[in-house]
Amino acid sequence: MDIKKVSVELIFLIAIFGTLLWMGLGGLSDYKLEHGFPTGYLASDNYAHVSWAEHIKNEGNYRKSGLSTAGGFPDVIGHYPMMHSHLSAIFSMLSGLETYDTMLFLTFFFSCFSTLIVYFMLRRYDRNIAILSVPLATFLFVYNFYFILLWGQYAMLFGNFFAILSIWAFSRIELKHSGILLGLGLSAAFQSHPPEMIICSAFIVFIMVIRLILKNVSKKEMIELAKAAAVFLLATLYYLMIFVFAITRISISRDKNPLLDLTQPHMEYLRTTLFSHFHIASFVIVAGALAFLLLAKKLKTVFQYSAYALLFGFCNYLGGKLGSRSLAQRSYWPITLAPLFGLGLFQVIKLTKIKWKKTYSVFLSAIIVIGIVNAYYQKMSPHGLVEQNQWNGIKWLNENTPLDSEIYFFYGDTYNQGGIMYNVFRKVTFADSSDFVNKLSNKIISRHYLSYLVAEISYKLPYRKSTFDYGAHMLEMDKSVFESEKDICSFDYLLFDKVSIQPVLAQYNMAIRNAMLSNNWIEEVYSNDVVSIIHNKKPGEECIPMEGIKLEVKE
């Protein structure tokens, strides 16, 4: 691409990229890069990812999980895929932005940027198809596709981004040392979210098997693939051990779902995306798929991958784990089906016999983008599950309490989204809302509340026994460690929300707080309009009578 010769195309690409970033992140971030608290964070997962990045920033590495995600166990290994956390942490330190800002920025940036990688793969085949394919990416920020970004599936999005890099490298496998790029792409996809690497690798293996059968593989290409495998092994060696010996073993013991289960098609993934969510564009994609079938011999890797993504997206009907992963992959269809969209649109244009020019494609694409934005795009408002004052309370705990403090969170409207509390880098326990409401109904301030230990328990808190042997705290310990009636007098610091959507719950919080503050060894150490934090200097002492305190209710 010579920049001077392609100014229209270049301006078009910059404008498209800007439009995508504006659609996805503009409204959500209130058109700002820097925020005082996590803005645009709408689910537990968003906050969980930030806590991993913040942990890496503070600790300098990801050998161990942070105390809050590890349920207070200091030996839990860093086992969650980490690429996005490392990148967000480093970018935060360089740019001066907070990790919650860099995490959001990088995720949206890379999601938008994927379309440019696909564009360059298509451009080698046909410039018009490349330009015409771009508008489909706008659906990334249209419901239900948008939910994957809003609800914090960042690891998966990074995995998809690196899978696209891998497909690009595979499409260039004839180049010397392209195997290194392929190996790096697959390694990054694996360490972002292993399923995306596995799905991408399955495609590469499938294509290579077909090419081997057709005797259409050169020795040079095989050498590059061998290089890719070697780079992959080298770059993932440490995490591969964790994945194989800890995560996979625990997944097998935990998850009884078979790979396939034809009796139960998988239909639930966040808010499921359907092919019909592309509205009228779905017809163009179907046209592209038909054209692909007719022109299959002439079409290159990027089209094959697009057809594969379409087919794979419907494997949810096969059920089981494959079905679940297949359904999740649909969220990335606005990027992966773009080649079929561009191909379909261009074939329709060709039928009109108009002498088509590249500038026409640019204008048509721009019109389609404007059409999609006008018809389907809904601007997001900038908000998060916690607001500034709540975040200030969390920050205060991190900055002012000893590392071995035990923290208790009373009722808060959004604390059922546990990822929020991962950002307190201490051992945290929180009150079960049903039990809390029951005790309020019984008009009693109790010393014991049903409580949960805050922890990221997907893989049961794995720890290393020896190089190849891993245990899992959650599988080895009594359930009561993680979920039981807890004595609120046994905690060092207790956080109360002063406001709630249901004011009576906040009033109950305040009644408990006031009862605890009546003891001279307990004092309020932090307060703002929304939260109050108290410090119990004698954990274990009777701060509430065993029989509880009867609430006096004014009629």
Question: Does residue number 366 form part of the binding site for another protein (CB under 8 A)?
Answer: no
Nearer to another protein, 92 or 429 (CB): 92
Distance (Å, rounded) from C-alpha 411 to C-alpha 128?
57
Q: Which stretch binds another protein (CB under 8 A): 26-34, 212-220, 319-327, 540-548?
A: 26-34
Question: Does residue number 270 form part of the binding site for another protein (CB under 8 A)?
Answer: no
Surface-to-core class of residue 373, CB atoms within 10 Å of its CB (0-12 exposed, 13-18 middle, 19+ buried):
middle
Identify residue 271 by its one-letter amino acid code: R
Q: With the CA atoms of 393, 399, 403 and 409 taken in that order, what torsion angle do they form, in degrees rounded to the nearest 10? A: 0
In angstroms, give the least distance from the CB of 181 to another protein: 6
Distance (Å, rounded) from C-alpha 296 to C-alpha 394?
56
The interface with another protein within residues 232-261 (CB under 8 A) comprises: 235-236, 238-239
Q: Which stretch binds another protein (CB under 8 A): 94-102, 144-152, 395-403, 473-481?
A: 94-102
Identify residue 97 by its one-letter amino acid code: L
Nearer to another protein, 110 or 305 (CB): 110
Question: Does residue number 96 form part of the binding site for another protein (CB under 8 A)?
Answer: yes
**Residues binding another protein: number (CB under 8 A):** 66
Distance (Å, rounded) from C-alpha 130 to C-alpha 526?
57
User: In the block, which residue shows the tokens 């201490």?
Assistant: 426
Question: Does residue number 93 form part of the binding site for another protein (CB under 8 A)?
Answer: yes
Nearer to another protein, 156 or 505 (CB): 156
Question: Does residue number 56 form part of the binding site for another protein (CB under 8 A)?
Answer: yes
In angstroms, give the least distance from the CB of 124 to another protein: 8
Question: Does residue number 476 form part of the binding site for another protein (CB under 8 A)?
Answer: no
Question: Out of 37, 75, 90, 264, which residue is the one contacting another protein (CB under 8 A)?
Answer: 90
The interface with another protein within residues 148-207 (CB under 8 A) comprises: 161-162, 164-165, 168, 172, 175, 177-178, 181, 184-185, 187-188, 191-192
Question: Out of 48, 49, 50, 57, which residue is the one contacting another protein (CB under 8 A)?
Answer: 57
Asked whether 13 and 116 are in contact (CB, 8 A), the reply is yes
In angstroms, give the least distance from the CB of 469 to another protein: 19
The interface with another protein within residues 106-145 (CB under 8 A) comprises: 110, 113, 116-117, 119-120, 123
- Strands 406-409, 427-431: pairing kind: parallel
Question: Which helix (H) or strand (E) covers residue 549, if one does?
Answer: strand 549-550
In angstroms, give the least distance from the CB of 413 to another protein: 28
Question: Out of 100, 105, 145, 146, which residue is the one contacting another protein (CB under 8 A)?
Answer: 105
Nearer to another protein, 228 or 489 (CB): 228
Q: Which stretch binds another protein (CB under 8 A): 55-63, 125-133, 278-286, 507-515?
A: 55-63
Question: Does residue number 332 form part of the binding site for another protein (CB under 8 A)?
Answer: no
Distance (Å, rounded) from C-alpha 429 to C-alpha 446?
16
Nearer to another protein, 53 or 530 (CB): 53
CA diameter of the chain: 88
Question: Does residue number 214 form part of the binding site for another protein (CB under 8 A)?
Answer: no
In angstroms, give the least distance from the CB of 482 to another protein: 29
Q: Which stretch binds another protein (CB under 8 A): 18-26, 301-309, 466-474, 541-549?
A: 18-26
In angstroms, give the least distance from the CB of 164 to another protein: 7
Nearer to another protein, 201 or 236 (CB): 236
The strand order across the sheet containing 483-487 reads 483-487, 448-453, 427-431, 406-409, 493-497, 531-536, 522-527
In angstroms, give the least distance from the CB of 416 to another protein: 31
The residues facing 550 across adjacent strands are 444
| Backbone phi and psi for residue 549, each to the nearest 5 degrees, phi listed first | -120, 130
Question: Does residue number 94 form part of the binding site for another protein (CB under 8 A)?
Answer: yes
Asked whether 296 and 348 are in contact (CB, 8 A), the reply is no
What is the SS3 assignment for 425-452? CCEEEEECHHHHHHHHHCCEECCEEEEE
Distance (Å, rounded) from C-alpha 30 to C-alpha 383?
9
Long-range CB contacts (< 8 A, 24+ apart) of 4-10? 8/358, 8/359, 8/362, 9/127, 9/131, 9/358, 9/362
Q: Which stretch binds another protein (CB under 8 A): 54-62, 138-146, 402-410, 519-527?
A: 54-62
Nearer to another protein, 102 or 153 (CB): 102
CA distances from 126 to 123, 198, 334 (A): 5, 29, 19
Asked whether 515 and 549 are in contact (CB, 8 A), the reply is yes
Distance (Å, rounded) from C-alpha 123 to C-alpha 117?
10
- Nearest to 332, CA basis, from 304, 345, 313, 319: 313
CB atoms within 10 A of CB 442: 11
Nearer to another protein, 28 or 281 (CB): 28
Asked whether 343 and 294 are in contact (CB, 8 A), the reply is no
Question: Does residue number 33 form part of the binding site for another protein (CB under 8 A)?
Answer: yes
Distance (Å, rounded) from C-alpha 130 to C-alpha 128?
5
In angstroms, give the least distance from the CB of 31 to another protein: 4
Distance (Å, rounded) from C-alpha 84 to C-alpha 158?
7
Question: Does residue number 83 form part of the binding site for another protein (CB under 8 A)?
Answer: yes
Question: Does residue number 49 form part of the binding site for another protein (CB under 8 A)?
Answer: no
Residue numbers at the binding site for another protein (CB under 8 A): 1-3, 6, 10, 14, 17-18, 21-22, 25-26, 29-34, 56-57, 59-63, 82-84, 86-87, 89-91, 93-97, 105, 110, 113, 116-117, 119-120, 123, 161-162, 164-165, 168, 172, 175, 177-178, 181, 184-185, 187-188, 191-192, 235-236, 238-239
